[in-house]
Structure 1
Amino acid sequence: MLSKPESACFVIADISGYTGFLAGVELEHAQDIIADVMDTMVRRLRPPFRLAKFEGDAAFFYAVADKVDGSALQDAVEAAYFAFRKRLRNISQSTSCACNACNRMQDLDLKFVCHHGEFIKQKMSGRDELAGRDVILVHRLLKNGVNERLGGHAYVLYSDPCIRAMGIDPTAQGLVEHRESIDIIGEVTCWVCDLEAAWQQENDRQINQVTREAAAAVIEFDIAAPRPAVWEHFTQPGLRPKWRAADEVRETSQSGRRGVGTVNHCMHGPHAIIEEVLDWRPFDYLTISTLLPMPDAPKVIMSYAFLEGKPGATHIEIRLARPKPKDQAFLDHVGAEFQKTITAEIEKLRQMLEGQDGAPAAVEEPMLPVPAERFLTQPARTNLPT
């Protein structure tokens, strides 16, 4: 039988400066560095994306979907880029090696291309490959004129079909229109986000997190599912009612993108629990203020922290901020009931996510490159001239 076309969101993450980096450096350390940062980036994108294959200095991902959660896609791409930059910085600070590869690792950067369209699967060399016009298009969009506009900064390029599938207003979110002319296909309208600017904003943004040490109480759980999957079930309005005791979640955001300042009305019949997002760090933590529909209820501040657990698992910490003295009695009154309720809800979420974990994969994903991590502590042995 012929394969049926499927709709998907495609993402290609491409390492910039790869060829120049490899020229004249110690290959064993260069390969360690590339494998390490590629591993870091890939693990931030899947899920929600599935790795189709590695393509030299790039990785090709896709997620089968007719529609895309615009906030979730942008968060996933930015989280992957931020993790890439932090990993490069951490490696540089940790290594004592003075080889060319370790000295020049900061020359590496990332660019992303995102597109939405159709594909079919075809069997090649014993594995499924993605094929179709849109698969070709997303690859052709890698060769573009964005660098001339941004001066070589990291960026993400969204095609207009991807923007429509995301259901967002690109100008309201600060994206810049860009057009590319592709042979045979014709002109393609795209939208650009400057990831270097996003990285600087991330570094400058003030942290607002209830730490474990400063919390009045910490409620902990473990779920055998990756952090991005757990995160999206905690944050996406369409997913939260599937496991939390709410009829629906009504989300309001000025720009249309979920994050700091987003207000949620968690509806319980005619009553609403009102949440405001105070800090938003996918997929690490979020901090919210919660106002219960009760007389004289104070706002309760809490952070949801999502930590790496066992391989492929997430450790969740719900950290409640210490209340003002006048609010202590109220928190004592509702605290036990909250813990009882959230424990039952997390158990439902655990069953949902861990049940999905055993589902058959759409394709056999490539193994991730394994870094030797030698460069973190040991200088390279090389015969290259100094």
Structure 2
Amino acid sequence: MSKRGYLLIADITGYTRFLTGSELDHAQGILESLFEVILARLKSPLILSNIQGDAFLAFANDETVQSPGQILDSIEALYFGFRDRVAMMRENTACTCRACRNIGGLDLKFIVHHGDYVINDIAGRHELTGPDVILIHRLLKNDVPERTGIKAYALITAAAAAALALDELKDETKPYAIELSEFGTISATVLDLGARWENHRERNEIVVSENEPLYFKPVSRVIPFGIDIVWEYLTDPAQRQRWQEGVHSISRARGDPHRLRTGAVEHCAHGKESIVINYVDVRPLKHMTGEVLMPLGGKMRFSLLTTAESKGTRVTARFAQPQSPSPFVAFLLRQLVGFRARKEPQFWSKCFADMEALIRESQAESYTAPEMSPAELKSTARNLAAA
């Protein structure tokens, strides 16, 4: 079955050095934990093809990708999860064995390409063949760290960058080119994932808590689709206009229209009223927190959260009470919006139901693979670490 789409390899760097310089019994437990993170986060729209030692090959057919932002969201979520787990193990161990001391030498790099490939289903695996598959494997051997100084990166070929068409790939990357026999000069761009994780870790998480004064009781719904699809419908302005009742237009005044990130600013038109939203914390596939600007310098903070569950994705809306540096202004704003508070749960319940209906309408049959159960995931990670 010939397809066109994205090809991705996630490769653990420092793997061989870690194994050869560590006690195997401790090293196996550490690797099992890291493999489990990778397998858990390598999900739709990406489909795992195969695992070769410390390298995970995945693909995403064009027809299953709702938006190019999904690919970069998936890469960031996978990398941040990996680095978070490494940091957690380093901080929570008092063991002085070589394996535990060497955890910090493990990292992750990605090769991303867009092209053609043939899918062969062999013994339950989705094996890929074709020149573009050979190319992405050849790109694993590169001199990116030596030439750019970037150790943890996503090497994105020109073909993939053109397909993604994201502004951040023009503004926040370094150009790179490599000569490969039989392929000639391959132009690419390098994204510094290590720097992004450092920024992600240093930035305090901002999310509306259930324990703070809320504008109305949180609204939650389980939508029977993957978290990547639900996240896309939550963050894409064009999709939100379809399910958020009363919204006539949404324009992203600051930020890439194809991918929601911290710092984005949106203008939402509700009839004659225009609302400005500043996004203060966006964690792909986890939550987005924004602040709605209100009269007299006030603001209302909200969070839309997504959580993967066995039956789909739980999406939750939490809105805090209006805030202002002036207690009097805060009181006025709360009185102003208070009369609508009883209607908001019904409004958001309908919005989430409408969003689910739209997703159902749009999801044509596509080439997907069933996700591993938690038990299967843990067993696969254990077997990989023991191999």
Q: 1:63 to 1:174 in 2, by over 3 A?
A: same
Q: Choose the corresponding residue for 1:329, options 308, 327, 335.
A: 335
Structure 1, 29-38 or 5-14: larger mean CA deviation: 29-38
Whole-angstrom distance in 2 between the partners of 1:317 and 1:340: 13
What's 1:339 paired with? 345
Whole-angstrom distance in 1 between the partners of 2:69 and 2:244: 21
Residues 71-127 of structure 1 deviation map (CA, whole Å, 9 limit, x = unaligned): 333232122111111111222333454433222122110001111111122344564
Q: 1:37 to 1:214 in 2, by over 3 A?
A: same
Structure 1 contact 222–313 (Cα < 8 Å) conserved: no
Residues 320-367 of structure 1 deviation map (CA, whole Å, 9 limit, x = unaligned): 222211101222122222221110121233456689999675356775
Partner SS for 2:262? coil
Whole-angstrom distance in 2 between the partners of 1:222 and 1:26: 47
Structure 2 contact 177–188 (Cα < 8 Å) conserved: yes
Structure 2 contact 43–371 (Cα < 8 Å) conserved: no
How is 1:23-34 mapped onto 2 (pairs within 5 angstroms)?
23-34=20-31
What's 2:354 paired with? 348
Give the structure with the larger helix fraction: 2
Whole-angstrom distance in 2 between the partners of 1:36 and 1:238: 39
Structure 1 contact 275–289 (Cα < 8 Å) conserved: yes
What's 1:379 paired with? none
What's 1:196 paired with? 194
Residues 116-148 of structure 1 deviation map (CA, whole Å, 9 limit, x = unaligned): 111122344564422222122122111111011
Whole-angstrom distance in 2 between the partners of 1:311 and 1:146: 39
Whole-angstrom distance in 1 between the partners of 2:210 and 2:369: 40
Whole-angstrom distance in 1 between the partners of 2:236 and 2:291: 17
Whole-angstrom distance in 2 between the partners of 1:171 and 1:351: 33
Partner SS for 1:213? coil
Runs of at least 5 residues in structure 2 that lack an aligned partner in the other structure? 323-329, 383-387
Structure 2 contact 291–299 (Cα < 8 Å) conserved: yes
How is 1:255-334 mapped onto 2 (pairs within 5 angstroms)?
258-267=260-269, 272-290=274-292, 299-307=299-307, 310-311=309-310, 313-323=312-322, 324-334=330-340
Q: Choose the corresponding residue for 1:130, options 117, 128, 131.
A: 128
Structure 1, 325-334 or 204-213: larger mean CA deviation: 204-213
What's 2:218 paired with? 219
What letter is aligned with 1:232?
E
Structure 1, 268-277 or 313-322: larger mean CA deviation: 268-277
What letter is aligned with 1:88?
V
Structure 1 contact 159–189 (Cα < 8 Å) conserved: yes
How is 1:358-369 mapped onto 2 (pairs within 5 angstroms)?
361-363=367-369, 368-369=377-378
Whole-angstrom distance in 2 between the partners of 1:332 and 1:352: 31
Residues 210-263 of structure 1 deviation map (CA, whole Å, 9 limit, x = unaligned): 222224244131414444333222112243244332455332334665312322
What's 1:384 paired with? none
Whole-angstrom distance in 1 between the partners of 2:207 and 2:177: 40
Q: 1:285 to 1:128 in 2, by over 3 A?
A: closer
- Confirm whether residue 52 of structure 1 aligns to residue 49 of structure 2: yes
Q: 1:129 to 1:269 in 2, by over 3 A?
A: farther
Structure 1 contact 280–286 (Cα < 8 Å) conserved: yes
Structure 1, 141-150 or 58-67: larger mean CA deviation: 58-67
Q: 1:139 to 1:253 in 2, by over 3 A?
A: farther
Structure 1, 26-35 or 82-91: larger mean CA deviation: 26-35
Q: 1:356 to 1:128 in 2, by over 3 A?
A: farther
What letter is aligned with 2:114?
H
Partner SS for 1:334? coil
Structure 2 contact 219–349 (Cα < 8 Å) conserved: no
Runs of at least 5 residues in structure 1 that lack an aligned partner in the other structure? 373-386
What letter is aligned with 1:239?
Q
What letter is aligned with 1:91?
M
What letter is aligned with 2:251?
R
Aligned-residue offset at 1:40: 1.4
**Identical residues among aligned pairs (%):** 29
What letter is aligned with 1:333?
F
How is 1:47-86 mapped onto 2 (pairs within 5 angstroms)?
47-65=44-62, 69-86=67-84
Q: 1:306 to 1:126 in 2, by over 3 A?
A: closer
Structure 1 contact 215–322 (Cα < 8 Å) conserved: yes
What letter is aligned with 1:114?
V
Whole-angstrom distance in 1 between the partners of 2:97 and 2:364: 44
What letter is aligned with 1:20?
R
Aligned-residue offset at 1:157: 0.8
Structure 2 contact 49–125 (Cα < 8 Å) conserved: no
Q: 1:221 to 1:353 in 2, by over 3 A?
A: farther
Q: 1:355 to 1:87 in 2, by over 3 A?
A: farther
Whole-angstrom distance in 1 between the partners of 2:363 and 2:256: 34
Aligned-residue offset at 1:70: 4.1
Residues 188-225 of structure 1 deviation map (CA, whole Å, 9 limit, x = unaligned): 11000111211222223244332222242441314144
Provide the aligned length of Structure 1 versus Structure 2.
Answer: 367
Whole-angstrom distance in 1 between the partners of 2:172 and 2:366: 39
Aligned-residue offset at 1:313: 4.2
Q: 1:358 to 1:170 in 2, by over 3 A?
A: closer
Q: Choose the corresponding residue for 1:15, options 12, 16, 34.
A: 12
Structure 2 contact 218–316 (Cα < 8 Å) conserved: yes
